[in-house]
Amino acid sequence: MLTVNHDGASVESDLAGGRLACPGCRGRLRPWGWARERLVRHGTGAGLSLVRHRPRRGRCTGCAATHVLLGVELAARRADTAAVIAAAVEAKTATGAGHRRIAARLGRPASTVRGWLRAFAASAGPIAEVFTALAHRDGADAAGLWPAPAPTPAGRALAAVAAYAGVLAYRFSVATLAWQTAGLTASGPWFFSASGWVGREQHELALTPAPGDGKGGESAG
């Protein structure tokens, strides 16, 4: 799987132009049909809705591997949008609320929310390490973007991703960029899965800068 821009027309253009790279061999991806349709829960409370998604597939011209192309608002193997998962992680790290209380607030099964929180906590160490390095590498003044110190590993991981979101927001000239968008953009669709931090790498940003000085372009979410 590969995280791509949320805009379908942009993905089609990138596939046709050979601008998407295979995460395995770095070969160019070309159009290769569609993945199985999936229902994804969007929103919470009165705004909760089920939306049908049928992700595009790409096939590598080098190694012939096929890859499902997930829009940046979606995470691999999750039946809820990244924004809802992120809200659960934020509630846990900011207030220490338990998974049952968070689940009730979001209108999701308690077991589902518990799984999200456990996966993020299990990956907190490598997430913090990777995104701290990315923020310092890509940010002209990463220290100025850093939130207050967090007392837990999950909190430190969230702070590191939030700092990198600030770096990307500046790079692409947008007012703000959600931290989960930055996470999925940089590390790929397995960002919210513990297994995503074992041998998987996105390699490329799902955001495309405009020609010129490297800033501008479209936001992925």
pLDDT at 216: 37
Tens-place pLDDT, residues 79-101: 999 999 999 999 999 889 999 99
| Percentage of the chain modeled with pLDDT above 70 | 86
Domain spans of the chain?
A: 2-197
pLDDT of 203 higher than 70: no
Answer whether residue 212 shows pLDDT above 50. Answer: no
What distance lies between CA 183 and its chain's CA centroid? 4
Phi, psi of 166 (to 5 degrees): -65, -40
Classify the C-alpha dihedral 132-145-163-174 as positive or negative: negative
What pTM did the predictor assign? 0.85
CA distance 91 to 97: 6
Q: What is the mean pLDDT of the chain?
A: 87
Q: How far apart are CA 28 and CA 205, in angstroms?
A: 15
Query: Distance between CA atoms of 3 and 108, rounded to whole angstroms?
Result: 24
Return d(Cα 217, Cα 58) in angstroms, integer: 23
- Residue range 172-190, pLDDT digits in tens: 899 999 999 999 999 999 9
